[in-house]
Amino acid sequence: MTGFPRARTSVVGAATFGLGECPGYNALEMTAQAGYRALDDAGIGLEEVDGLFVALPDDYLGGLAVAEYLGIQPKITDNNRTGGSSFLCHAIHAALALDAGLIDVALITYGSNQRTASGGLVSALKSSVYETPHSPMIPVGGYALAASRHMHDYGTTREDLAQVALSARAWANFNPEAFRQGDMTLDDVLGARMISSPLTARDCCLVTDGAAAVVMTRADRARDTRAPIPLLGGAQTVTHKEIASMPDLTVTGAAITGPQAMAQAGITPADVDCVQLYDAFTINTILFLEDLGFCPKGEGGRFVSSGAIAPGGALPTNTNGGGLSCCHPGMYGLFTMVEAVRQLRGEAGTRQLASPEIAVSHGNGGVLSSQATLVFGTPATV
């Protein structure tokens, strides 16, 4: 008994809007526009949406604002905020509510205009009285501390970290939506401005605008839609909030959620054709690939340096270019879901993989604090 309604719900619509720079739109409008587009993609009318799942960057009560903007009165409004993993948690909750018959159509949507509005990362993280006196530049400082420990324990190098950024850029060069494109070299990463050692500016995600949305329904309703992608498993956890309380700096909650979601889906890491994960910083990719079971603990640096995650590699990872080169509007998690769906539908353009059947989407929130893993499959995997 895994407790998760395997394949009993599907993503039936997915969309993005305003990736990169989106002047002239506020975050609420971007959120709504992504939602409209995802519903259009699904062929489902707004009037059918009775479950609304929202985490806006600048509005604590964003669930209310989006309901009003759309002009709907949802039966369930979920404003759960676990940072960038929020939307994967939303998908898990949506699957449960759909399966229980509480709702029929769930809309998960997000938008942020942080780049054009503020020019910097809009972070919901607030330091405690214990962190504040040290101004440790959270979030980057937290990830840098974890990276330092991984390097110390496992011999991971700055070059290994840089390979994550280079792989992301190589994928971004196939994605017309990606904000950063063009050649990037190892020296470009290593020689970039040091932000918080060992992480340079090129080890850090972009600061962009962007919006994304997905629509979910039960399998019966999904059958009537253009290209349903069943949700096979989903698991989430929280291990801490501030980095000092992380139980082990080199092991994230993905070591819990990955195996759990894959067990629900009835798969193992060897069955996974692509991984879309939250690469806020280059160390994330290394930690999550280890914790999700794609390589042994401690081997993540050498794994990414082998070329495994880059175009042509055995485990295509962040095929849209990720938060490092595609977009990072502040809470990136929903984009991992959209890219997983696009790959499984065969709609990924020149970066399309050859007939992928299983995609893992993994979200992260806070400073490696919240982790959430989803497993999607093609209808053939059900």
Partner 1 sequence: MSDTGAEARYLAYLSDGRFMLQRDPISGEAIFPPRLRRPGGGPALDDWAEMSGRGTVHAVTVQQKRDAAARAIVLVDLEEGGRMLSQVTGTQAEAVTIGMAVQARVVADADLPHVLFEPAGDGA
Does 198 bind partner 1 (CB under 8 A)? Our answer is yes
State in angstroms the smallest separation of the CB of 355 from partner 1.
42
Inter-residue contact 74 to 52 (CB < 8 Å): yes
Does 245 bind partner 1 (CB under 8 A)? Our answer is yes
Inter-residue contact 252 to 278 (CB < 8 Å): no
Inter-residue contact 80 to 89 (CB < 8 Å): yes
Does 243 bind partner 1 (CB under 8 A)? Our answer is yes
From the CB of residue 257, how many other CB atoms can be counted at a distance below 10 Å?
Answer: 28
State in angstroms the smallest separation of the CB of 132 from partner 1.
6
**Smaller CB distance to partner 1: residue 144 or 289?**
144
Residue 28: helix, strand or coil by DSSP?
helix
Residues 253 and 235: their CA atoms lie apart, in Å, by: 10
Does 119 bind partner 1 (CB under 8 A)? Our answer is no
Give the distance from CA 40 to its chain's centroid. Answer: 22
Inter-residue contact 359 to 217 (CB < 8 Å): no
Candidate segments 146-154, 228-236, 339-347, 355-363, binder of partner 1 by CB under 8 A = 146-154
Q: Residues 6 or more apart from 248 whose CB is under 8 A from it? A: none
Does 141 bind partner 1 (CB under 8 A)? Our answer is yes
Considering only CA atoms, give the Rg of the chain.
19
Does 270 bind partner 1 (CB under 8 A)? Our answer is no
Residue 247 vs residues 198, 228, 258: alpha-carbon distances, Å: 21, 38, 17
Name residue 9's beta-bridge partners. Answer: 218
Does 133 bind partner 1 (CB under 8 A)? Our answer is yes
Does 131 bind partner 1 (CB under 8 A)? Our answer is yes
**Smaller CB distance to partner 1: residue 74 or 136?**
136
DSSP assignment of 91-140: HHHHHHHHHTTS-SEEEEEEEE-HHHHTSS--------TTTGGG---TTH
- In terms of Cα–Cα distance, which of 187, 185, 189 is closest to 170? 185
State in angstroms the smallest separation of the CB of 249 from partner 1.
6
Tell which one of 60, 73, 137, 349 touches partner 1 (CB under 8 A): 137
State in angstroms the smallest separation of the CB of 283 from partner 1.
11
Residue 303 vs residues 198, 241, 313, 329: alpha-carbon distances, Å: 19, 28, 11, 28
| Residue 147 exposed, middle or buried by CB count within 10 Å (0-12, 13-18, 19+) | buried
Does 196 bind partner 1 (CB under 8 A)? Our answer is yes
**Smaller CB distance to partner 1: residue 2 or 245?**
245
Candidate segments 102-110, 123-131, 225-233, 271-279, binder of partner 1 by CB under 8 A = 123-131
Instruction: Classify residue 281 by its DSSP letter.
Output: B
Alpha helices (H) in 3-43, listed in sequence order: 27-42
Does 73 bind partner 1 (CB under 8 A)? Our answer is no
Tell which one of 195, 238, 256, 263 touches partner 1 (CB under 8 A): 195
Tell which one of 7, 56, 146, 255 touches partner 1 (CB under 8 A): 146
Tell which one of 132, 185, 268, 355 touches partner 1 (CB under 8 A): 132
State in angstroms the smallest separation of the CB of 262 from partner 1.
26
Tokens 């309901």 — which residue?
67
State in angstroms the smallest separation of the CB of 238 from partner 1.
13
Does 75 bind partner 1 (CB under 8 A)? Our answer is no
Tell which one of 30, 55, 95, 145 touches partner 1 (CB under 8 A): 145
State in angstroms the smallest separation of the CB of 259 from partner 1.
21
Give the number of residues in contact with partner 1, rule: CB under 8 A: 28
Does 194 bind partner 1 (CB under 8 A)? Our answer is yes
Instruction: Classify residue 248 by its DSSP letter.
Output: -
Does 185 bind partner 1 (CB under 8 A)? Our answer is no
Per CB under 8 A, residues contacting partner 1 are 128-134, 136-137, 141, 144-149, 152, 194-199, 242-245, 249
